[in-house]
């Protein structure tokens, strides 16, 4: 049986994927966090002003903090398999 911190969670169904965020996701984060309907649900590290700060936050949460068995949820991203409308 897999222990909690053995593998970062990956969940997928026909509509969404919940997975670890990585550096490829940094460019989309400002667009997502600037939407009022999304903003109220996101983690504070996503409103960082620069891409460098976002990269550092993602690296720390998904790497260092996960390895130290501190966090598992904060670096999950929920990704739509379809074109998503964040205004609904």
Cβ neighbours around 19 below 10 Å, total: 17
The two tokens of residue 9 are 């969670």
pTM: 0.51
Please say whether the beta carbons of 42 and 29 come within 8 A. Answer: no
Q: What is the DSSP letter of 79?
A: E
Question: Across residues 59-73, what is the average pLDDT?
Answer: 63
Question: Across residues 36-46, what is the average pLDDT?
Answer: 66
Question: Across residues 42-65, what is the average pLDDT?
Answer: 67
pLDDT score at 88: 43
């Amino acid at each position: 049986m897999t222990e909690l911190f053995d593998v970062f969670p990956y969940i997928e169904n026909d509509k969404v994927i919940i997975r670890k965020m990585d550096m490829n996701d940094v460019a989309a984060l400002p667009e997502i966090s600037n939407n009022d309907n999304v903003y109220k649900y996101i983690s504070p590290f996503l409103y960082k002003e620069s891409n460098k700060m976002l990269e550092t936050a993602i690296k720390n949460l998904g790497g260092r903090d996960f390895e130290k068995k501190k966090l598992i949820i904060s670096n999950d991203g929920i990704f739509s398999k379809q074109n998503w409308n964040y205004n609904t």
